[in-house]
Amino acid sequence: MIVYLDGKYVDSADAKVSVFDHGLLYGDGIFEGIRIYDGNVFRLDEHLERLEYSAKAIMLDLPATRPELVEITCETCRRNNLRDGYIRLVVTRGVGDLGLAPWLCAKPSLVVIASTIQLYPKEHYENGLAIVTVPTRRINPAALPPTVKSLNYLNNILGKIEAKQGGALEGIMLNDQGFIAECTADNLFIVHKGTIYTPSASQGALKGITREVIFDIARDCNLPILEQNMTRYDVWCADECFLTGTGAEVIPVVKLDGRVIGTGKPGPITNRLLTEFRHRVRSEGVKL
Protein backbone atom coordinates (compact mmCIF):
# COMPACT_ATOMS: atom_id res chain seq x y z
CA MET A 1 0.00 0.00 0.00
CA ILE A 2 1.19 3.50 -0.88
CA VAL A 3 0.50 6.30 1.61
CA TYR A 4 0.84 10.05 1.09
CA LEU A 5 2.86 11.60 3.93
CA ASP A 6 3.93 15.24 3.97
CA GLY A 7 4.73 15.67 0.31
CA LYS A 8 5.83 12.13 -0.51
CA TYR A 9 4.15 8.90 -1.60
CA VAL A 10 5.74 6.15 0.48
CA ASP A 11 5.26 2.48 1.22
CA SER A 12 2.92 1.94 4.16
CA ALA A 13 5.78 0.34 6.12
CA ASP A 14 7.65 3.64 5.87
CA ALA A 15 4.68 5.90 6.63
CA LYS A 16 5.69 7.00 10.11
CA VAL A 17 5.11 10.07 12.27
CA SER A 18 7.12 11.37 15.21
CA VAL A 19 6.30 10.29 18.75
CA PHE A 20 6.23 14.04 19.46
CA ASP A 21 3.41 14.67 16.99
CA HIS A 22 0.56 16.37 18.84
CA GLY A 23 -1.93 14.24 16.95
CA LEU A 24 -0.49 11.23 18.75
CA LEU A 25 0.17 12.92 22.10
CA TYR A 26 -3.10 14.83 22.44
CA GLY A 27 -5.46 13.92 19.61
CA ASP A 28 -4.72 17.40 18.26
CA GLY A 29 -5.81 17.17 14.66
CA ILE A 30 -8.69 16.54 12.30
CA PHE A 31 -9.68 13.92 9.73
CA GLU A 32 -12.13 12.93 7.05
CA GLY A 33 -13.31 9.49 5.98
CA ILE A 34 -14.18 9.46 2.28
CA ARG A 35 -15.53 6.73 0.02
CA ILE A 36 -14.65 5.92 -3.56
CA TYR A 37 -17.12 4.02 -5.74
CA ASP A 38 -16.15 2.74 -9.20
CA GLY A 39 -13.50 5.45 -9.54
CA ASN A 40 -15.74 8.23 -8.20
CA VAL A 41 -14.53 9.92 -5.00
CA PHE A 42 -17.95 10.56 -3.47
CA ARG A 43 -18.69 14.15 -2.49
CA LEU A 44 -15.01 14.98 -2.16
CA ASP A 45 -15.59 18.75 -2.18
CA GLU A 46 -18.08 18.46 0.68
CA HIS A 47 -15.62 16.42 2.71
CA LEU A 48 -12.82 18.90 2.07
CA GLU A 49 -15.07 21.81 2.97
CA ARG A 50 -15.85 20.16 6.30
CA LEU A 51 -12.12 19.56 6.80
CA GLU A 52 -11.51 23.28 6.23
CA TYR A 53 -14.22 24.21 8.72
CA SER A 54 -12.77 21.81 11.32
CA ALA A 55 -9.31 23.29 10.77
CA LYS A 56 -10.62 26.82 11.18
CA ALA A 57 -12.46 25.90 14.37
CA ILE A 58 -9.30 24.57 16.05
CA MET A 59 -7.03 27.24 14.49
CA LEU A 60 -5.03 24.74 12.44
CA ASP A 61 -3.51 25.89 9.14
CA LEU A 62 -4.02 23.29 6.44
CA PRO A 63 -0.76 22.42 4.65
CA ALA A 64 -2.44 22.31 1.22
CA THR A 65 -5.12 24.14 -0.73
CA ARG A 66 -8.37 22.44 -1.70
CA PRO A 67 -7.30 21.81 -5.32
CA GLU A 68 -4.03 20.35 -4.00
CA LEU A 69 -5.93 18.12 -1.56
CA VAL A 70 -8.17 16.93 -4.40
CA GLU A 71 -5.14 15.95 -6.47
CA ILE A 72 -3.31 14.32 -3.53
CA THR A 73 -6.41 12.30 -2.64
CA CYS A 74 -7.01 11.13 -6.20
CA GLU A 75 -3.33 10.38 -6.82
CA THR A 76 -3.16 8.25 -3.65
CA CYS A 77 -6.08 6.22 -4.99
CA ARG A 78 -4.46 5.90 -8.40
CA ARG A 79 -1.15 4.71 -6.95
CA ASN A 80 -3.01 1.98 -5.05
CA ASN A 81 -5.17 1.02 -8.06
CA LEU A 82 -8.16 1.72 -5.83
CA ARG A 83 -11.52 2.21 -7.50
CA ASP A 84 -13.75 1.06 -4.66
CA GLY A 85 -12.82 1.64 -1.05
CA TYR A 86 -12.20 4.06 1.77
CA ILE A 87 -9.91 7.08 2.05
CA ARG A 88 -8.67 8.47 5.36
CA LEU A 89 -7.35 12.04 5.20
CA VAL A 90 -5.63 13.16 8.42
CA VAL A 91 -4.12 16.51 9.40
CA THR A 92 -2.27 16.73 12.72
CA ARG A 93 -0.88 19.78 14.48
CA GLY A 94 2.57 18.36 13.84
CA VAL A 95 5.68 17.87 15.90
CA GLY A 96 5.96 19.83 19.14
CA ASP A 97 7.16 19.23 22.68
CA LEU A 98 5.55 17.40 25.58
CA GLY A 99 3.52 20.45 26.57
CA LEU A 100 0.06 21.34 25.31
CA ALA A 101 1.06 24.55 23.50
CA PRO A 102 0.03 24.13 19.84
CA TRP A 103 2.02 27.21 18.77
CA LEU A 104 5.21 25.26 19.43
CA CYS A 105 4.36 22.85 16.62
CA ALA A 106 6.34 24.11 13.64
CA LYS A 107 4.10 22.79 10.86
CA PRO A 108 1.09 20.49 10.45
CA SER A 109 1.37 16.99 9.05
CA LEU A 110 -0.81 15.61 6.26
CA VAL A 111 -1.52 11.90 5.73
CA VAL A 112 -3.74 10.30 3.08
CA ILE A 113 -4.49 6.55 3.22
CA ALA A 114 -6.47 4.78 0.50
CA SER A 115 -7.61 1.28 1.40
CA THR A 116 -10.79 -0.69 2.10
CA ILE A 117 -13.28 -0.85 4.95
CA GLN A 118 -16.24 -2.97 6.02
CA LEU A 119 -17.96 -1.90 9.22
CA TYR A 120 -20.84 -4.36 9.16
CA PRO A 121 -21.32 -7.81 7.60
CA LYS A 122 -23.38 -7.87 4.40
CA GLU A 123 -26.29 -9.72 5.98
CA HIS A 124 -27.03 -6.77 8.28
CA TYR A 125 -27.72 -4.54 5.28
CA GLU A 126 -30.30 -7.07 4.15
CA ASN A 127 -31.79 -8.02 7.53
CA GLY A 128 -31.01 -5.03 9.74
CA LEU A 129 -28.99 -4.38 12.89
CA ALA A 130 -29.93 -4.90 16.53
CA ILE A 131 -28.39 -2.07 18.57
CA VAL A 132 -28.35 -0.91 22.18
CA THR A 133 -28.17 2.32 24.17
CA VAL A 134 -24.77 2.74 25.82
CA PRO A 135 -24.13 4.28 29.27
CA THR A 136 -21.42 6.74 28.16
CA ARG A 137 -22.93 10.10 27.25
CA ARG A 138 -21.91 12.16 24.24
CA ILE A 139 -19.61 15.08 25.02
CA ASN A 140 -21.54 18.31 25.55
CA PRO A 141 -21.37 20.54 22.44
CA ALA A 142 -20.31 23.40 24.72
CA ALA A 143 -17.21 21.40 25.68
CA LEU A 144 -16.24 20.14 22.21
CA PRO A 145 -18.37 21.03 19.16
CA PRO A 146 -19.51 17.81 17.46
CA THR A 147 -19.17 19.60 14.12
CA VAL A 148 -15.37 19.44 14.53
CA LYS A 149 -14.27 16.06 13.22
CA SER A 150 -11.24 15.80 15.48
CA LEU A 151 -8.80 12.99 16.20
CA ASN A 152 -10.12 12.80 19.77
CA TYR A 153 -12.55 9.88 19.50
CA LEU A 154 -12.15 8.36 22.95
CA ASN A 155 -15.73 9.28 23.86
CA ASN A 156 -16.99 7.30 20.86
CA ILE A 157 -14.60 4.42 21.52
CA LEU A 158 -15.90 4.02 25.08
CA GLY A 159 -19.41 3.84 23.64
CA LYS A 160 -18.30 1.27 21.06
CA ILE A 161 -16.79 -0.90 23.81
CA GLU A 162 -20.05 -0.74 25.78
CA ALA A 163 -22.08 -1.65 22.69
CA LYS A 164 -19.93 -4.74 22.20
CA GLN A 165 -20.34 -5.65 25.86
CA GLY A 166 -24.08 -5.39 25.28
CA GLY A 167 -23.84 -7.83 22.37
CA ALA A 168 -24.31 -5.22 19.63
CA LEU A 169 -22.19 -3.85 16.79
CA GLU A 170 -23.38 -0.29 17.34
CA GLY A 171 -24.86 1.77 20.15
CA ILE A 172 -26.90 4.93 20.60
CA MET A 173 -25.24 7.69 22.62
CA LEU A 174 -27.43 10.11 24.57
CA ASN A 175 -26.43 13.65 25.48
CA ASP A 176 -26.36 14.97 29.03
CA GLN A 177 -30.07 15.85 28.80
CA GLY A 178 -31.07 12.34 27.84
CA PHE A 179 -31.81 13.12 24.18
CA ILE A 180 -30.29 11.02 21.40
CA ALA A 181 -27.13 12.58 19.98
CA GLU A 182 -25.96 9.94 17.51
CA CYS A 183 -24.48 6.47 17.48
CA THR A 184 -20.83 5.82 18.23
CA ALA A 185 -19.87 6.16 14.56
CA ASP A 186 -23.11 6.85 12.69
CA ASN A 187 -25.99 9.30 12.47
CA LEU A 188 -29.45 7.96 13.32
CA PHE A 189 -32.78 8.37 11.53
CA ILE A 190 -36.26 7.05 12.16
CA VAL A 191 -39.42 6.96 10.07
CA HIS A 192 -42.75 7.55 11.80
CA LYS A 193 -46.05 7.83 9.94
CA GLY A 194 -44.30 8.69 6.68
CA THR A 195 -42.01 11.40 8.07
CA ILE A 196 -38.26 10.99 8.52
CA TYR A 197 -36.75 12.33 11.75
CA THR A 198 -33.17 12.73 12.92
CA PRO A 199 -31.57 14.36 15.98
CA SER A 200 -30.50 17.97 15.59
CA ALA A 201 -26.76 18.57 15.30
CA SER A 202 -27.10 20.92 18.29
CA GLN A 203 -27.80 17.86 20.47
CA GLY A 204 -24.31 16.43 19.88
CA ALA A 205 -24.48 14.86 16.42
CA LEU A 206 -21.83 15.22 13.75
CA LYS A 207 -23.13 16.87 10.59
CA GLY A 208 -22.41 13.79 8.52
CA ILE A 209 -21.89 13.97 4.77
CA THR A 210 -24.03 10.85 4.26
CA ARG A 211 -26.59 12.45 6.61
CA GLU A 212 -26.78 15.41 4.20
CA VAL A 213 -27.20 13.02 1.27
CA ILE A 214 -30.30 11.60 2.97
CA PHE A 215 -31.72 15.11 3.33
CA ASP A 216 -31.12 15.72 -0.38
CA ILE A 217 -32.69 12.41 -1.41
CA ALA A 218 -35.70 12.96 0.84
CA ARG A 219 -36.35 16.40 -0.66
CA ASP A 220 -35.98 15.09 -4.22
CA CYS A 221 -38.39 12.24 -3.44
CA ASN A 222 -40.87 14.56 -1.69
CA LEU A 223 -40.42 12.74 1.61
CA PRO A 224 -40.89 14.99 4.67
CA ILE A 225 -37.76 15.13 6.85
CA LEU A 226 -37.25 16.97 10.13
CA GLU A 227 -34.56 17.56 12.75
CA GLN A 228 -35.82 17.45 16.32
CA ASN A 229 -35.00 16.34 19.86
CA MET A 230 -35.44 12.58 20.07
CA THR A 231 -35.53 10.05 22.91
CA ARG A 232 -35.19 6.28 22.92
CA TYR A 233 -39.00 6.09 23.11
CA ASP A 234 -39.18 7.64 19.62
CA VAL A 235 -36.97 4.87 18.25
CA TRP A 236 -38.79 2.10 20.10
CA CYS A 237 -42.10 3.24 18.60
CA ALA A 238 -40.83 4.11 15.13
CA ASP A 239 -42.00 2.38 11.97
CA GLU A 240 -38.44 2.21 10.62
CA CYS A 241 -34.93 3.10 11.72
CA PHE A 242 -31.62 3.35 9.90
CA LEU A 243 -28.09 4.64 10.40
CA THR A 244 -25.86 6.60 8.05
CA GLY A 245 -22.13 7.20 7.82
CA THR A 246 -19.29 7.21 5.34
CA GLY A 247 -18.16 3.77 6.46
CA ALA A 248 -21.61 2.38 7.26
CA GLU A 249 -23.34 3.97 4.23
CA VAL A 250 -27.09 3.41 4.90
CA ILE A 251 -27.92 0.45 7.13
CA PRO A 252 -31.34 -0.50 8.60
CA VAL A 253 -31.91 -1.05 12.31
CA VAL A 254 -34.62 -3.50 13.36
CA LYS A 255 -34.18 -3.66 17.12
CA LEU A 256 -33.13 -1.29 19.94
CA ASP A 257 -32.60 -2.41 23.53
CA GLY A 258 -34.43 -5.67 22.85
CA ARG A 259 -37.47 -3.92 21.38
CA VAL A 260 -38.45 -4.74 17.80
CA ILE A 261 -38.76 -1.67 15.57
CA GLY A 262 -41.70 -1.69 13.17
CA THR A 263 -42.12 -5.08 11.52
CA GLY A 264 -38.65 -6.20 12.55
CA LYS A 265 -37.47 -5.94 8.94
CA PRO A 266 -35.98 -3.10 6.86
CA GLY A 267 -38.85 -0.79 5.88
CA PRO A 268 -39.92 0.53 2.46
CA ILE A 269 -38.70 4.10 2.98
CA THR A 270 -35.31 2.88 4.23
CA ASN A 271 -35.00 0.62 1.19
CA ARG A 272 -36.00 3.46 -1.13
CA LEU A 273 -33.39 5.78 0.37
CA LEU A 274 -30.74 3.07 0.19
CA THR A 275 -31.48 2.37 -3.48
CA GLU A 276 -31.21 6.05 -4.37
CA PHE A 277 -28.07 6.45 -2.28
CA ARG A 278 -26.37 3.59 -4.14
CA HIS A 279 -27.24 5.30 -7.42
CA ARG A 280 -25.79 8.67 -6.39
CA VAL A 281 -22.47 7.47 -5.03
CA ARG A 282 -21.23 6.81 -8.56
CA SER A 283 -22.20 10.20 -9.96
CA GLU A 284 -21.71 12.85 -7.26
CA GLY A 285 -18.06 13.60 -6.68
CA VAL A 286 -14.68 13.67 -8.42
CA LYS A 287 -13.69 11.09 -11.02
CA LEU A 288 -10.17 9.69 -10.94
148 with 249, same domain: the answer is: yes
Domain match, 158 and 101 both: no
On whether both 162 and 253 belong to a single domain, the answer is yes
Distances in Å between the alpha carbon of 148 and those of 6, 34, 64, 102, 211? Answer: 22, 16, 19, 17, 15
Q: Which domain holds residue 85?
A: 2-115
- Catalytic residue, chosen from 16, 107, 122, 149, is 149
Question: Does residue 288 sit within a domain?
Answer: no
- Residue 88 and residue 137 in one domain: no
Range scoring the smallest mean pLDDT among 25-39, 109-123, 217-231 = 109-123
What CATH number does residue 90 fall under? 3.30.470.10
Entry pTM: 0.94
Residues 6+ apart with CB under 8 A from 190: 196, 197, 198, 230, 234, 235, 238, 239, 240, 241
Count of structural domains within the chain: 2
How confident is the prediction for the chain on average, in pLDDT? Answer: 96
Is the same domain home to 136 and 278?
A: yes
pLDDT in tens, 207-244: 999 999 999 999 999 999 999 999 999 999 999 999 99
Checking if the pLDDT of 117 tops 90, the result is: no
DSSP E strands: which ranges in the chain? 2-5, 8-11, 29-37, 40-42, 85-92, 109-115, 129-133, 171-174, 180-183, 187-192, 195-198, 225-227, 240-245, 249-256, 259-260, 285-287
149 is catalytic: yes
- The CATH number that applies at residue 194 is 3.20.10.10
One domain, residues 102 and 155: no
Q: Are residues 67 and 107 in the same domain?
A: yes
Same domain membership, residue 203 and residue 166: yes
* Span 56-70, pLDDT tens digits: 999 999 999 999 999
137 and 263 belong to one structural domain: yes
Report angle CA 164, 166, 172 to the nearest 5 degrees: 80
Residues 72 and 140 in one domain: no
Q: Which of 115, 130, 165 delimits the end of a domain?
A: 115
